[in-house]
Structure 1
Amino acid sequence: MAAVMGDPGLSKLQFAPFSSALDVGFWHELTQKKLNEYRLDEAPKDIKGYYYNGDSAGLPARLTLEFSAFDMNAPTPAHCCPAVGTLYNTNTLEAFKAADKKLLLEQAANEIWESIRSGAALDNPVLLNKFLLLTFAITVGVYDPCNLAQYPGWPLRNFLVLAAHRWSSSFQSVEVLCFRDRTLQGMRDVTHSIIFEVKLPEMAFSPDCPKAVGWEKNQKGGMGPRMVNLSECMDPKRLAESSVDLNLKLMCWRLVPTLDLDKVVSVKCLLLGAGTLGCNVARTLMGWGVRHITFVDNAKISYSNPVRQPLYEFEDCLVGGKPKALAAADRLQKIFPGVNARGFNMSIPMPGHPVNFSSVTLEQARRDVERLEQLVEGHDVVFLLMDTRESRWLPAVIAASKRKLVINAALGFDTFVVMRHGLKKPKQQGAGDLCPSHPVAPADLLGPSLFANIPGYKLGCYFCNDVVAPGDSTRDRTLDQQCTVSRPGLAMIAGALAVELMVSVLQHPEGGYAIASSSDDRMNEPPTSLGLVPHQIRGFLSRFDNVLPVSLAFDKCTACSSKVLDQYEREGFNFLVKVFNSSHSFLEDLTGLTLLHQETQAAEIWDMSDDETV
């Protein structure tokens, strides 16, 4: 700092200090000089650096030392000014700390002052920029893989042999830095590194190879071979496990990083029906990595089945045919042994199909109902894939009562419907609670143009659009009329869409309570990484077209209305027997459909008489 005296309006002149910038190459060269040339010599050494006039604004002036610092004749880089200096390198950290820094600085200052007094600085202005560098450079570093706090890892051993062989005559010990680069909670961390001093043995340039150690001990801690069992790695089942989900992982890695595969792989699916729809649904579930699949069916494989139902072969039809549910589960495990597939050869009791009070039929119906209730309880998603409308009624009621997600698929000739049933509110919620958090206008205030933003618990089920109760749909039908006749590709399309709908629901943060997407939402931002989460998909193969309608739950529904569910939960099997043994009027009377029919007929009569008077 200097003062400009005289004019009181002038301020003191200040100078910006330099910032040292020692390149990695400098330290490498210093290491080589120290180990091979300087050794224990602590005499000062002439070195050379430079400063650059042209750094970005705001940066301090840099005094740079590179690998060429020890060559006093090395050229100075372009656009840089040379600076000469003196290096004082100590042999120990203690000597570095004990060095008289004040004395060294005064000595350097006196040298500059002498060049000014003698005029030498006029001939060589570089002398005015002389600098002093004090270092301690004899720590060796090793990239250490060891996790033990007090011991280094094996890479250090042979390096110390090298140090003892080459430098033990010059150094009695070296300081070692074991550098440990870890990642903790996503952040790089080097605090586990350790530093210590090692005394080197006397073996300078010895021609004899040191004693070798290093045979790895076995599991018992002795010197012997370690046994590695590769049977699991080579097991075809294990190889299949690691390969079967590759496509799903590639989806996550490349296309849909937010896809939650765990929700899909861990889901337990109950397939009611092992026919054309059931077989195609099962194959698509396996493609999505689903590991728990259970079939329920009471039919046997016939000769017409294998060409349309991909889990069966011609041999399965022989000797009367194998039970579909058992054969389907067995085939899934042959396709992929990692799947947990089960089959139950059982009937599902149905409305309009009476059970006998005086024979074993009643007890069989009771056992079938109990087994079906247990299966629905033990699974996360129930697929309704049966041939008849009435066969879907009992599982729809049980699943609604147990708050299970239901995916329903039904076929026509060239049309299909795939839908998710509305998921009822949890029982612990009050009647006025909304689940989970979406306010919805009352059903009687909603017109067709307002069917939007309807959460899952307000959605209808398969029976909500009907105004008649399910009954025996096969009565008075010929055999060909009892069989579902569809275009061959329809079941594959509907089965695949049923599984894709389930996956989309699982990817939504609110699951079965997700707001239903409609056809109007196709241009909007999708609610999940996989796209829309519709209520229904109605397909028309003749037009190759799909629509996504949304319908509200019907308070007089014969399957999911509160009157039916309350009666089922109070009376259980006794209530179901009434439904099985009665005509469809029982459910219609219970839910209020009978009264609705009467009111409708009266309104029609009144309208006709009114027209006649006009």
Structure 2
Amino acid sequence: MPVVQFAQFSSIVQPTLWHELSRLKLEVLRLSDESVPLTATYSTGRTIKDRNTGQEVTLGCNIAVGGEGFSESYSPPLHSVPARGILKNYNTIEEFKNADKRALFNKLSDEIWDSIIQNHDTAALTRFLLITFADLKKYKFYYWFAFPAFAAQPLWEIDGDWTAAADKHFSEAQLSSLTKQLSLQARPFFLVRPAQDDSVEVAPVQDFTDFFANVPEQSRTIGFLDPSAQASAPGWPLRNLLAYLRAVHPEATQTVRVLCWRGDAPSSRFGILRGGPTSTEKPSAVGWEKNVQGKLGARIADLAPMMDPKRLADQAVDLNLKLMRWRILPALNLEKIAQTRCLLLGAGTLGCYVARTLTGWGIRKITLVDSGKVSFSNPVRQPLFEFEDCLHGGRPKAEAAAGRLKKISPGVDAQGVTLSIPMPGHPIPPGSEEQTKADVNALENLFDTHDAVFLLMDSRESRWLPTVLGSAKGKIVLNAALGFDSYLVMRHGAREKPAHSSTRLGCYYCNDIVAPADSLTDRTLDQMCTVTRPGLAPIASATAVELLVSLLQHPLGLHAPAPPPGQDPQSQREGEGSVLGLVPHQLRGFLAQFRNMQIIGAAYDRCTGCSETVIKAYETEGFAMLLRAFNESGFLESLTGLDKLHAEGEQALEAVDWEEEGEGADEDF
């Protein structure tokens, strides 16, 4: 009699498997190479009709697996059955190549055999192994499937040949009954016996003894869902089903009537198989999948060519950040950083560098505001501009910077807004009040739709209105300012004094006893341009961004206290501080000395920027109050009481009894 041939499983891997494996690698597995459970599915074999020849073409004996297979609650699609396996991912390509694949295969085949002998478990008959290496930088995945199947000795033979199930073996009524039962619940393996009403009864293979009691051998049928569509080669699951029957029911399975169920009666096949002597010892197993060249070897899934380049860029940014999290800082909240919406007031040297650093941290929403245009001196110091941006009078800075940012990182939602920020000391002409009001409304709306605001302008007075808005609206406000070889980076304190601290942190204006005034008129050439060492701006900008990220990681966020100067960063990291270390109030850097100083500045109750007097006046009067601050010299001093402070100071000086020295007094020395 001819020897039975089997169609081996052929894997179909959905791209979602690699996406989910990437996530697991970065967020769960990290450097672990522990095996994880994975569920694949297979269904009945299929054929398709060739449009040119009209002939039926047989598809492979396929088993499919996707990212959903990692879920413990995953259930197969309709008319499909599960195959439980394990995935073992290696950390390097060398480990993948040098892995002891024989030991892995033998271990799994031993587990399958033990499950057959000890538990009579048919669920283990389709177990599989998948070993992988995920090259997440190049989006290449190396993988190799193994579907262990036991080799019978002697081989199974078929009495005659495989025939159609409807050919003399089952009546039309029986096949109709069987089709109805299997369509309601797909079964990987099952038993079939005739019923009295010319129908059939179906049961699990584990019920072999009871189900076939008093049933003649010629009426006993062993069925399985066949993933093969070949006429004379049933699918791979039959090999282990036959091994199971010979091991568990050796006396009753010298001859086995097999039904290869392929979804309907016309497609299904039937055969009578005969096996030789059996043994309780585990037979040898085979089942490593061949590659596309038909050789035993791994396959490669290269996703880069078929992925959206924008998505590749996003994933590359996320990869660096996730590596940071699982290798160094597991508590790092990357989602909170990515969701922070940042407003950059100023798209010059500081604005460009801040925007670039924000994208490095994975922040997706960045809005740049500026009223200027790109000039010929800008591109060498401001990395979001090129020479072409300077031509024809120059492109608007904010729009040009946002456009370039999206070219650098397409996943960033970057927007440029050309807007003039009204300033104290710069009176508004009567004919421009409506435009100024519209500008103020636009700025207020921008504050409402963003979480963190960077003040990156090149004048002192331009920071006043954003300081007031940030304090009134409870936003994170960060300031960066440059000197020739020194810089200031600071965060503005929250409006409310923290309950855990006696100090409310101040703003940019809290150390001043004069209100911001016009510093832009009548400037010399050196005053019109930022005269600063070229390396200073990127240092200050990066420091400002890192200060924001550290603040976002602090459990108190905006209300985080400033550490005392000289505190060890590790002491705060192990306590209730940010996982990134200290969250200082002010940093003053001195490039000539290559050093930084941490400074704490308390809020001033007469501050023209963040005092409660100013904030309540803005909340009560709105634009009318702002207009007075823009137009009236001395208004802010009068509002906050600084004018009285000046008067008190002058009175104190006048009250001093100054002793005037007479002529010749120096002769005594």
Q: How big is the shift at 1:355?
A: 1.0
Q: Which entry has the higher C-alpha Rg, 1 or 2?
A: 1
1:384 correspondence with 2:419: no
Q: How big is the shift at 1:263?
A: 1.2
Equivalent residue, structure 2, for 1:139:
120
Matches of 2:362 and 2:125, distance apart in 1: 41
User: SS state of the match for residue 420, structure 2?
Assistant: coil
Give the direction of change, closer, same or farther, for the CA distance of 1:608–1:533 in structure 2 (3 Å limit): farther
Equivalent residue, structure 2, for 1:289:
362
Matches of 1:273 and 1:350, distance apart in 2: 14
1:330 correspondence with 2:403: yes
> 1:406 touches 1:420 (CA, 8 Å); kept in 2?
yes
Q: Of 416, 439, 442, which aligns to 1:368?
A: 439
Equivalent residue, structure 2, for 1:485:
531
Q: How big is the shift at 1:145?
A: 7.8
Matches of 1:382 and 1:411, distance apart in 2: 18
Matches of 2:461 and 2:126, distance apart in 1: 67
* Aligned pairs for 1:181-192 within 5 A: none
The residue type equivalent to 2:321 in the other structure is: L
1:170 correspondence with 2:251: yes
Q: Of 486, 502, 509, which aligns to 1:463?
A: 509
Matches of 1:518 and 1:167, distance apart in 2: 75
| Residue segments in structure 1 that go unaligned for 5+ positions in a row | 1-135, 174-199, 207-227, 426-433, 441-453
Give the direction of change, closer, same or farther, for the CA distance of 1:277–1:170 in structure 2 (3 Å limit): same
Give the TM-score, by structure 1 length.
0.61
Give the direction of change, closer, same or farther, for the CA distance of 1:247–1:476 in structure 2 (3 Å limit): same
1:399 correspondence with 2:399: no
Give the direction of change, closer, same or farther, for the CA distance of 1:171–1:470 in structure 2 (3 Å limit): same
Q: Once the two structures are superposed, what CA deviation does each residue of 1:14-54 show, in whole Å capped at 9, x if it has no partner?
A: xxxxxxxxxxxxxxxxxxxxxxxxxxxxxxxxxxxxxxxxx
Matches of 2:399 and 2:599, distance apart in 1: 36
Q: How big is the shift at 1:600?
A: 1.4
Equivalent residue, structure 2, for 1:568:
618
Q: How big is the shift at 1:480?
A: 2.9
Q: How big is the shift at 1:477?
A: 1.8
Equivalent residue, structure 1, for 2:481:
410
Q: Once the two structures are superposed, what CA deviation does each residue of 1:337-372 show, in whole Å capped at 9, x if it has no partner?
A: 000000001100111111122x2x111101100000
* Aligned pairs for 1:349-368 within 5 A: 349-357=422-430, 359=431, 361-368=432-439
The residue type equivalent to 1:503 in the other structure is: V
* Aligned pairs for 1:189-268 within 5 A: 203-205=273-275, 233-268=306-341
> 1:169 touches 1:202 (CA, 8 Å); kept in 2?
no
* Aligned pairs for 1:312-327 within 5 A: 312-327=385-400
> 2:476 touches 2:558 (CA, 8 Å); kept in 1?
yes
Equivalent residue, structure 2, for 1:592:
641
Q: Of 524, 549, 574, which aligns to 1:503?
A: 549
Q: Of 553, 557, 563, which aligns to 2:603?
A: 553
Instruction: Using CA pairs under 8 Å that are at least 6 residues apart, name the structure with larger relative contact order, 1 or 2.
Output: 2
Matches of 1:518 and 1:293, distance apart in 2: 32
Q: Once the two structures are superposed, what CA deviation does each residue of 1:237-258 show, in whole Å capped at 9, x if it has no partner?
A: 1111211222211111111111
The residue type equivalent to 2:494 in the other structure is: L
Give the direction of change, closer, same or farther, for the CA distance of 1:601–1:244 in structure 2 (3 Å limit): same
Q: How big is the shift at 1:524?
A: 5.9
The residue type equivalent to 2:274 in the other structure is: A
Equivalent residue, structure 1, for 2:373:
300
> 2:338 touches 2:361 (CA, 8 Å); kept in 1?
yes
> 1:311 touches 1:331 (CA, 8 Å); kept in 2?
yes
> 2:371 touches 2:419 (CA, 8 Å); kept in 1?
yes
Matches of 1:479 and 1:323, distance apart in 2: 22
Give the direction of change, closer, same or farther, for the CA distance of 1:322–1:157 in structure 2 (3 Å limit): same
The residue type equivalent to 1:326 in the other structure is: E
The residue type equivalent to 1:438 in the other structure is: H
Q: Of 393, 405, 418, which aligns to 1:345?
A: 418
> 1:168 touches 1:202 (CA, 8 Å); kept in 2?
no
Q: How big is the shift at 1:159?
A: 1.8
Matches of 2:250 and 2:307, distance apart in 1: 55
> 2:246 touches 2:253 (CA, 8 Å); kept in 1?
no
Give the direction of change, closer, same or farther, for the CA distance of 1:609–1:364 in structure 2 (3 Å limit): same
User: What is the aligned residue count?
Assistant: 401
* Aligned pairs for 1:520-559 within 5 A: 520-522=566-568, 525-526=571-572, 527-559=577-609
CA RMSD, aligned part only? Answer: 2.9
- Identity among equivalent positions (%) equals 53
User: SS state of the match for residue 294, structure 1?
Assistant: strand
Matches of 1:251 and 1:395, distance apart in 2: 34
Give the direction of change, closer, same or farther, for the CA distance of 1:305–1:439 in structure 2 (3 Å limit): closer
Q: Once the two structures are superposed, what CA deviation does each residue of 1:250-291 show, in whole Å capped at 9, x if it has no partner?
A: 111111111111111111000000000000100110111111
The residue type equivalent to 1:322 in the other structure is: R
| Residue segments in structure 2 that go unaligned for 5+ positions in a row | 1-116, 128-183, 190-224, 226-235, 255-269, 277-300, 662-669
User: SS state of the match for residue 459, structure 1?
Assistant: coil
User: SS state of the match for residue 330, structure 1?
Assistant: helix
Matches of 2:367 and 2:464, distance apart in 1: 19
User: SS state of the match for residue 383, structure 2?
Assistant: coil
Q: How big is the shift at 1:511?
A: 0.4
Matches of 1:316 and 1:304, distance apart in 2: 11
The residue type equivalent to 2:463 in the other structure is: R
Matches of 1:268 and 1:371, distance apart in 2: 16
Give the direction of change, closer, same or farther, for the CA distance of 1:495–1:168 in structure 2 (3 Å limit): same
Matches of 1:522 and 1:144, distance apart in 2: 59
Matches of 1:507 and 1:523, distance apart in 2: 14
Matches of 2:242 and 2:526, distance apart in 1: 91
Q: How big is the shift at 1:593?
A: 0.3
Matches of 1:594 and 1:609, distance apart in 2: 25
Matches of 2:495 and 2:271, distance apart in 1: 80
> 2:126 touches 2:237 (CA, 8 Å); kept in 1?
no
User: SS state of the match for residue 468, structure 2?
Assistant: helix
Q: How big is the shift at 1:164?
A: 4.5
Matches of 1:140 and 1:480, distance apart in 2: 85
User: SS state of the match for residue 479, structure 2?
Assistant: strand
Matches of 1:262 and 1:512, distance apart in 2: 17
